[in-house]
Structure 1
């Protein structure tokens, strides 16, 4: 039942991303623009969510017909772990101007790794390396200016 609901939610979210991204402007005479990556992401979410929902539709229907409505008591730790990425993205959006994009990415990944019980000796270098690679890819390869923040990079 849970997988069916998650699949349905992902499919709906993917469709919403596609619908919103269709209004993004194109660049010059090109056929693509700012909507390209959101549409690709939304399409993947829509397809995978629909597949997950379809795969679990029959077991979900059987569960609804069979057992009575059991009260759902979500575990607080699971809810917190589920909400953590969303909270971190919001903090990144509002905090990357102050502390800089690269340090914000590093901290975001480090917190996510540690929340997933990844050891410090793995979490620190991977977070640092990923933040540096992403920062260099955006600033050097894509020529997208990222907020410098307190440290100047």
Structure 2
């Protein structure tokens, strides 16, 4: 039931984020304003929280149905989450903060994604291709279209050769 309550908490946090973001000032010259990204994040919280809560209810219903039929409980067959897996996101954030000025944002994001995918036992070829494509897309979207100044890193002399 912990996942159910966590899911409900995420839905509530998403709703609060969306309501708060709608109170941000609008800019008359743009079709979107400062409320766009917080609203998208709030929507993601709502969607993810709803999926988490519904999945918890579905698993609970399935476990109760199996116990009623005399089958062993479903809870015993679920894989346990290891505690180290919960430390990976904060470690990744700290690594990005410490390494991005030297390696650059795109290379740092690629390394983080590659390691996380390999730790989740993804095929090395798929992990390498996915991390390369997604990190490149993230870098170009944020640096070119959203005009966010991302670190290019000292490793390549402060500029990426394919970016003019």
TM-score of the pair, normalised by structure 2: 0.65
Q: Is residue 2:119 matched to residue 1:115?
A: yes
Q: Which protein is bigger by CA-based radius of gyration? A: 2
Number of residue equivalences: 145
CA distance in 1, matches of 2:123, 2:55: 31
Provide runs of 4+ in structure 1 moved above 4 Å.
Answer: 57-63
CA contact (8 A) 1:18 1:38 kept: no
Equivalent in the alignment of 2:12:
15
SS of the equivalent of 2:82 reads helix
- Quote how far apart the aligned CAs of 1:94 are: 4.9
| Residue from 136, 139, 142 that aligns with 1:138 | 142
CA distance in 2, matches of 1:111, 1:56: 30
| Residue from 89, 92, 115 that aligns with 1:85 | 89
After superposition, the Cα gap between the structure-2 partners of 1:120 and 1:50, relative to the gap in structure 1 and judged at 3 Å, is: closer
Q: Is residue 2:147 matched to residue 1:148?
A: no
CA contact (8 A) 1:26 1:33 kept: no
CA distance in 2, matches of 1:143, 1:133: 14
**Mind listing any 5+ residue stretches in structure 1 that lack a counterpart?**
64-73
SS of the equivalent of 2:121 reads coil
Q: Is residue 2:52 matched to residue 1:53?
A: no
| Residue from 109, 126, 129 that aligns with 1:125 | 129
CA contact (8 A) 2:106 2:136 kept: yes
TM-score of the pair, normalised by structure 1: 0.69
